[in-house]
Structure 1
């Protein structure tokens, strides 16, 4: 028996044959495939990071603050900026929002428990769910309450209505519900009516609203933080990877009822947030306005992509995120490779006739749009 076969036989049965998360990490001139913030951390913030890390470095022989009190207070102040009062005991943080989601599934999922999400959505939701032994149910977008497809239209096949979401949730009585807003990969934001209706329709479930891209939402888009009061089963997850340009820093967080955040202490590993991680995150929060100063520039490039792809005969989905999901391609993998051959890396998420591109700097956006213009019309769906 080969070593691979030996390990396969020892692996949990529910993990056999599974595929890990993976986005290509290639050395290309223009990398627009993982929704990173293309702007580097400003020198002033680098200086503060250096100062904070230097300060704590002599104490690395000690464990970090297990309760990350200063960081929770800083995150609570940040979340309260828009008028919704968030207190530090409502905040939880971990090494990226994926670990935050893992804590939630460890606490509220598990064997003989069910989680539902509405796909296409963030591909890690089912992976984390299954890794915790929780049963995953693929909910559908683009259908009505009876399961019939929505009328054709740009992005309509990815909409999630109140009636459809409620019907699907009621049918499976889940323990965990994932709602992604703005949704990845489509970029579309959910109406808060959907969140409220799902919460009411799933009385035995923790409702997770994944708002990793919330800072990029178009004007007038409401976030789910406003719904937390009086809803102890509602969770809003966020990340510093995108708007804060901190993908390499690995800091995700959530806001929820204090009783729910307290429950996560049962599953977190001891001292799970290192001193360095806390120091880097605090340094970025010290410069919140500066760190968020690129958001408008990224929105501008996102909207430019939508406009220019439409002019090329493609069908981009209007986006509230820092990326654009676009259709109208004859063959998505062929176009993906053709763009890569031109030095532009975008994301093929496996949905026929569609690709996803991150909104980068003006120069990166220009490179992508010029590459797309050179490919059409022969790559257009007919």
Structure 2
């Protein structure tokens, strides 16, 4: 049995333990110990009932830890209730775990770490490696998060929007170290979309698939960024695009538009164009209008100005950009692109340099620096 299969069982097993009366923090610790045993022993001797095995071992781990506590006498009664090995209950508490891990009182970083640990089945070390932070930092986040949610009622309905936001945060971390967080986010979102009848869950899954489909073409062999218009579309994952569009169409047909569906519609229009020149920019502008009405986000309006510049010309794009705050992330980069399109090379070069200084990561900074150097070279000729 592979690691992905073992991890996929984690949330339902955790749900069983909590349902039996274990508090969340103790149940999660016991599950992690059971997962470690599974990783060690299953490759050589896999059990017939994987979920039942994990549930039994995790419950025993929980009981062992409970007996060692000061409250041992109050909890020892549970030892007599240990279920006999056999098929695990079919009740799946995964959905409640999503809501619990996205508790509104948690910080985004804590909610992400707890979701990856409790629902994703990742170890603290794997999460730390993925986010390039010390393992002790992640352990502290998880510990605090577990204390926060330990008193939350397990059967209360959760906020779908918060869960989706946490999963989108995971997806946007992309890939780092040994853990592909984008793929992990897709797996968890697919699981969530199958568990609830919600068009925005489907919309987020479609959005992730459509963005992930372009991943192989986003960087050159030397690691430099490749802009969307210059990507080799033959390297896009057509199967992921087809699946994403199919999921999106089914969600849109329900006429309950949300921000993830609108974002996915924009991504689908990019994916559907055989070349950059064939992109349906007017329709993309219309979807940005829908998205802006849903979110009232200045970042959405920033991206909309690019689409307006493509649909109606760079001067129109600059006019759409003008009312926005110049301190917005990527504002200078967007302004540089539109000024270059309009032919103002000097202003574009200056803005590319300014944008490079504010870039969020090294790859983006290098790309913007090269753009500025390219225009400065053109000016000197």
| Greater percentage in strand | 1
TM-score greater than 0.5 by the shorter chain: no
| Greater percentage in helix | 2
| Alignment TM-score, normalising by the size of structure 2 | 0.23
**Higher Cα Rg, which structure:** 2
